[in-house]
Amino acid sequence: MTDPRPKHLLDFQGWSPERLSGLLDNADTMLNVLARPVKKVPALQGLTVCTAFFENSTRTKVSFELAARRMSADVVSFAAGASSVSKGESLRDTVETLTAYKMDAYIVRHTASGAAHLVARYSGKPVINAGDGRRAHPTQALLDAYTIRQEYGDLRGKRVTIIGDVLHSRVARSNAELLPKLGAEVVLCGPATLLPLELGTMPGVTLTTDPREAVRGAHAVMALRLQNERMQGGYLASLADYIATYQVNESLLSEAEDGAIVLHPGPMNRDVEISGEVADGERSRIVKQVENGQAVRMSVLYHLLVGRD
Ligand code: CP
């Protein structure tokens, strides 16, 4: 590969399709490690990885910490709520303090868009963005891409429909950036109040407010959580109307390709953006996404930290 290896994974700027495909190929190797009785390799021995989470998480935090430990790194789990951030310490001062303890890499989640960039600037160490505001969640998009690829072998020519609260979704933005790089077409769908027009200018991305049109011919349908915590009201006519129109359920999926799979990044509002029947049904790959997340995050850590110096 001739393109320079990026130092960080903040979004997909500077990541070539070849490099991204290689990352997904390496996740196959990591899945093999995770299938062994002893799920441990020495790849990150001697390195210290800090998970710095300023916003709650289950999947991303647990899987990153496991991924780092599976590769023999030391892990510092920094939870902002139980730290001096609650006394008013700034993000910059927090990062400079942690960096004095000789961290080798940071995995950062924050409510503010751009926070991971700030950590990269003040730490000088590789940073993986584990979700910043509504801007980006690149490892979620990578595990989504990996899960679709696992199903179809290749993303080229695949139609991936993402339905729901696109406005507040960093997952939608990262998938809209990543999947077309890997050859897939992305359709973003939601009520007009939750569908930012500027996303329709991204290459390989189209927008529609019509869920049946969006799902027609789809190979994968991803439901997005209604992010009630980021809404100040006024986005929906009513919850009942939203559910009747945009819920991913068996009726809506009858428009998709035979064998189309269903994804959800989690956490789910069951029977709101996705019916419980579909979430637990044959098409669902939601548990598979969670399983794949650990392998994909091992691959990202390996790519950024091994053999760099
Ligand atoms: N998908 C996702 O980011 O889940 P968590 O918030 O639980 O990490």
Q: Domain with 230 in it: what CATH number?
A: 3.40.50.1370
User: Is 225 marked as a binding-site residue?
Assistant: yes
From ligand 1's centre to the CA of 36, what distance in Å?
26
Is the pTM higher than 0.85?
Answer: yes
CB 131 within 8 A of CB 107: no
Name which residue leads in pLDDT, 45 or 237: 45
Q: What residue ranges line ligand 1, CB within 6 angstroms?
A: 57-60, 131, 140, 265-267
The total domain count for the chain is: 2
| Residue 46 located in a structural domain | yes
> Rounded mean pLDDT of 8-14?
98
Least reliable range by pLDDT among 130-134, 140-144, 226-230: 226-230
Burial of 34 (0-12, 13-18, 19+ CB in 10 A): middle
Same domain, 173 and 285: yes
> Rounded mean pLDDT of 265-280?
97
Same domain, 151 and 279: yes
Same domain, 179 and 240: yes
pLDDT at 238: 87
Count CB neighbours of 206 within 10 A. Answer: 16
From ligand 1's centre to the CA of 1, what distance in Å?
32
> Rounded mean pLDDT of 175-186?
98
User: Is 168 marked as a binding-site residue?
Assistant: no
User: Is 140 marked as a binding-site residue?
Assistant: yes
Count CB neighbours of 149 within 10 A. Answer: 21
Domain of residue 98 covers 8-137+292-306
Same domain, 296 and 280: no
- The alpha-carbon radius of gyration of the chain (Å, integer) is 19
Same domain, 272 and 218: yes
From ligand 1's centre to the CA of 266, what distance in Å?
6
DSSP 165: -
Sequential DSSP letters for 24-43 = HHHHHHHHHHHTSSS----T
> Rounded mean pLDDT of 278-296?
98
| Closest C-alpha among 223, 230, 173 to residue 198 | 173
Type of residue numbered 174: S
